[in-house]
Chains A and B, each alone.
Chain A
Amino acid sequence: MAIPDPTAADVAPLSAVASRTAGQRLAPRARSFANFLVVILLTYLGLLAVTFFIGRVIPIDPVLAIVGDRAPAHVIERTRQELGLDKPLYEQFYIYLGKVLKGDFGTSVLTANPVMTDIKRAFPATLELASLGILIGAGLGVPLGVWAAVRRGKLVDQVVRVIGLVGYSVPIFWLGLMALVVLYARLGWVSGPGRIDVTYEYTITPVTGLLLLDTAMAGEWEAFRNVFSHLILPASLLGYFALAYISRMTRSFMLNELAQEYVIAARAKGLSESRIIWRHALRNAMVPLVTVIALSYAGLLEGSVLTETVFAWPGLGLYITNSLQNADMNAVLGGTIIVGSVFVGLNLLSDVLYKLLDPRTRIR
């Protein structure tokens, strides 16, 4: 769930780059921007439509979540009308779209809050976790992958492979629980499940919702420490799973680059091995790698249901899953928009990074 499919990973931005023909390069920036806007809008519309209709055809009665199993018939019927479920599907969708355009994402029936209020609370929890996770994953995964590529077939390569395979194949909830048993329950090195100790619960006012930032800005260093010690374990776990994938991809990109002629040329020129690897080969491998990392990050930002369950983390993954299981469609659609935006945003970001990394793709 968290790690995107490797084949899909490098397709999207590449095609975006390839579609930029010579003619477009000369065209005014405004036009490409307009194109871009249309594409984005269509993406959102498609995303909403698909989610909406899937949500309406799943065999779950959304009224049940609101009135429960015991409600008398007339209460059920009245609620159905209040939700507009008696109207045809296309009309329901039309009404929903109209509200979204006015910035009204509706109210979640499960939490009784406006959906955006819920998401403003759940998303930062996931953002904090995913950001630290990807820092760990990419920060360790890239060097490990490079190292494995350089020492191909040697012990290091085997060790990195095993680390990667374990990360890929062990169920995250099991690993999460084991990590908790050892590092939290036995050794007491880190704090347990949850985002913060109850003691600090009402001591900080949420500004960004990112507790590390909030506590740091308030100068509450005790609380900051506490937040960090709650965060580090689930973040490392997510980071490990990202690492497994990123290190494998880095290795394969690096092997590809190291076999290129420019590497031989560089060696013939007498450049140091480390300069060849880090400045030349990795620089080129970074181009596709940026996409891999960006999509891994996006995957983590969707929220990881299992990690969030084990660590009692009130994040986006649990929010969307719980909403879907109760057919709470306003919440599911709101969540989908956020996840969609994350993907669009990170795709854009990787496009920008592309241009920085690969001079050929810059618009002149």
Chain B
Amino acid sequence: MLPLFSRRVLCATAAAAMLACTGNLALAATPKDTLVLAFGFDDIITMDPAEAFELSAGEIMGNTYDRLLRLDINDPSKLVGDVAKSWNVSADGKTYTFEIKPGLKFASGNPLTAEEVAYSLQRAVMLDKSPAFILTQFGFSKTNVKDKIKATSPTVLTLETDKAYAPTFVFNCLTANVAAIVDMKLVQSKEVNGDWGYGWLKTNYAGSGPLKLREWRANEIVALERNDNYYGAKPKLARVIYRHVKESATQRLLLEKGDIDIARNLSPQDIAALSANKDVKLTSTPKGTVYYISLNQKNPNLAKPEVREAMKYLVDYSAIGDTLIKNIGVVNQNFLPQGLLGASTEKPYKLDVAKAKALLAKAGLPNGFKVTIDMRTIQPVQGITEAFQQTAKQAGIDVEIIPGDGKQTLTKYRARTHDMYIGQWGADYWDPHSNADTFTRNPDNADDAKAKPLAWRNAWAIPELTKQSDAAVLERDAGKRKKMYEDLQAEFRKTSPFIMLYQQTEVAAYRGNVDGLKLGPTFDSNYMFNVSKR
């Protein structure tokens, strides 16, 4: 078989080589009606909004599925109605009523009414995949969801929560992808053995968003097309194509050449280089992801309050801000990213080796100690860890870096067998509780605890802070609620075993003929349907 095959390829090669000689093969420029993006999306594992929880999948969901409410991407503290025309809370704070816009249709042509919305939310609770907790934290369960979430008429949907939560909290959670609305009739027709169409929807589409999913080929392409049944302003472009390109340098070349319109995963170096290119523009938005170094409280040295504090003085925040995360992040020493309710700009810590040394002496460790840190071998995490290793050394702390790939460091972190860990946390939904829930809540510090938030992973027992965090989600006065998060963060800054480093800024570089590109504050509000090309 091989000789024959080779001969054929040989002929083809010869023919093509001749063609190649006759002219310039590469014709750069993307089609006028198509937006082409280079984007690393190997994290996508599903296209079902009830399961999708990965950053890249979130972006696709945001563009292709509608939900009751969306964040106002120009001011993320505000909400805008998506399929909901109006929304309100009952006096006792437990019943939420939504009026659905009339005459809505899915991409398939099926009607979208309150019944479909109720089905979609019920489906997410019944499937109980990773993001389902965003809904079930309001007291919905497999047994009660059909009574608690229902359509009382084709245009009215009611939700009944178990407690009187802060309304902002409930509304914010309903902007998440898990609350996206799926085409009930279509999904039901694909149902196998009562799986709620899960097997089918993993790689298919049943939405009503401005763009519809044509195809997802893992690690290769995600193709979106204009949804002509969309209720709002139709996208100006007929197609949006995401190409899986992981390497920053490759993305940059493609953009410079005009083979893509937008590059999404650029390194600080490539961003700097592109900022000098007159054909290319940059746009950036602070995201809800914060980076931190954490200290496992199971390690007796790290458990000392003075050591925790000393560590916070051993990071050269300004050097990191000016170099390693230039363009891709800003120093942030709080667990809430800017943009969320109650976010703080307090930055009490800076590199101060003398102070750290004094604190270490107070802790009975005047000569420092040895400790390990688990690190993923990706930038800028690697650079930051190495910088920290240098500054910690100045105070006598000998930090040994344990590099790991993929899910390796995370597996270890989750088992809390690390000493120190450098990682990131992205808000699961646009509400301060998403971060408070993990940084300042640890209801059970036992090894077999049911909930394993970041505070648990670092064995930080905090009954008092847990109580305060729980109280904050029930505070119905937005002003008071804001103050509660500010207080939580003040305590957290002082005593926590988390050295908060920075908040991520997402940058996209795009060709000069692209208009209307604006990255949203969350990963699911990077809207491509507003983009047009000249």
A binding-site residues for B, Cβ under 8 Å: 58-61, 64-75, 78, 108-113, 118, 121, 131-132, 135, 177, 180-181, 184-185, 188-194, 197-199, 201-202, 212-213, 216, 224-226, 228-229, 232, 309-312, 314, 318-319, 322, 324-327, 349
Within 8 A of A (CB), among B21-73: 24-28, 30-31, 34, 36, 38, 42, 45-47, 53-54
Are B2's CB and A349's CB within 8 A? yes
Contacts A75-B128, A225-B19; A311 near B250 (Cβ below 8 A): yes
B219 proximity list for chain A (CB < 8 A): 111, 314, 318-319, 322
Contacts A131-B9, A192-B253; A312 near B130 (Cβ below 8 A): no
Min CB distance A114 to B, Å, is 11
Contacts A60-B411, A184-B257; A314 near B244 (Cβ below 8 A): yes
A216 proximity list for chain B (CB < 8 A): 12
Closest 10 CB pairs of A and B: A325-B406, A111-B218, A229-B25, A71-B130, A228-B16, A314-B220, A312-B245, A112-B202, A61-B411, A191-B26
Q: Which of A67, A185, A228, A314 contacts B130 (CB 8 A)?
A: A67
Q: A73-B452, A111-B219, A112-B218 are in contact. List 16 more A-B contacts (CB 8 A).
A: A58-B408, A59-B412, A61-B414, A72-B451, A112-B47, A177-B250, A198-B31, A212-B12, A225-B20, A228-B12, A229-B26, A232-B16, A312-B245, A314-B220, A314-B244, A326-B407
Are B5's CB and A325's CB within 8 A? no
Could you list 23 examples of A-B contacts with CB < 8 Å?
Answer: A58-B408, A73-B450, A73-B452, A75-B130, A110-B42, A111-B219, A112-B45, A118-B218, A121-B217, A184-B26, A185-B257, A188-B24, A189-B20, A189-B26, A192-B254, A197-B27, A198-B31, A312-B247, A314-B217, A324-B406, A325-B405, A325-B408, A326-B407
A325 proximity list for chain B (CB < 8 A): 405-408
Total contacts A-B at CB 8 Å: 181
Q: Which among B8, B24, B34, B218 has the highest number of chain A CB atoms within 10 Å?
A: B218
B9 proximity list for chain A (CB < 8 A): 131-132, 135, 212
Nearest chain A residue, comparing its CB with the CB of B11: A216
Nearest chain A residue, comparing its CB with the CB of B8: A213
Bound CA span A69–B256, Å: 36
Nearest chain A residue, comparing its CB with the CB of B413: A69
Min CB distance B113 to A, Å, is 29
Q: Which of A58, A108, A121, A312 contacts B243 (CB 8 A)?
A: A312
Nearest chain B residue, comparing its CB with the CB of A312: B245
Is there a chain A Cβ closer than 8 Å to B221's Cβ?
A: yes
Bound CA span A121–B217, Å: 9
Are A113's CB and B218's CB within 8 A? yes
Are A198's CB and B34's CB within 8 A? yes
Number of interface residues of B (CB under 8 A): 66
Bound CA span A70–B256, Å: 37
Are B129's CB and A229's CB within 8 A? no
Q: Which of A61, A66, A191, A312 contacts B250 (CB 8 A)?
A: A312
Are A69's CB and B410's CB within 8 A? yes
Q: Which among B12, B24, B36, B133 has the highest number of chain A CB atoms within 10 Å?
A: B12
Nearest chain A residue, comparing its CB with the CB of B35: A198
Contacts A111-B218, A112-B46, A212-B9; A310 near B247 (Cβ below 8 A): yes
A78 proximity list for chain B (CB < 8 A): 128
Nearest chain B residue, comparing its CB with the CB of A62: B407
Is there a chain A Cβ closer than 8 Å to B79's Cβ?
A: no
Bound CA span A268–B97, Å: 103
B131 proximity list for chain A (CB < 8 A): 70
Min CB distance B348 to A, Å, is 29
Contacts A60-B411, A110-B218, A225-B19; A198 near B24 (Cβ below 8 A): no
Is there a chain A Cβ closer than 8 Å to B316's Cβ?
A: no
Min CB distance B435 to A, Å, is 12
B47 proximity list for chain A (CB < 8 A): 112
Is there a chain A Cβ closer than 8 Å to B144's Cβ?
A: no
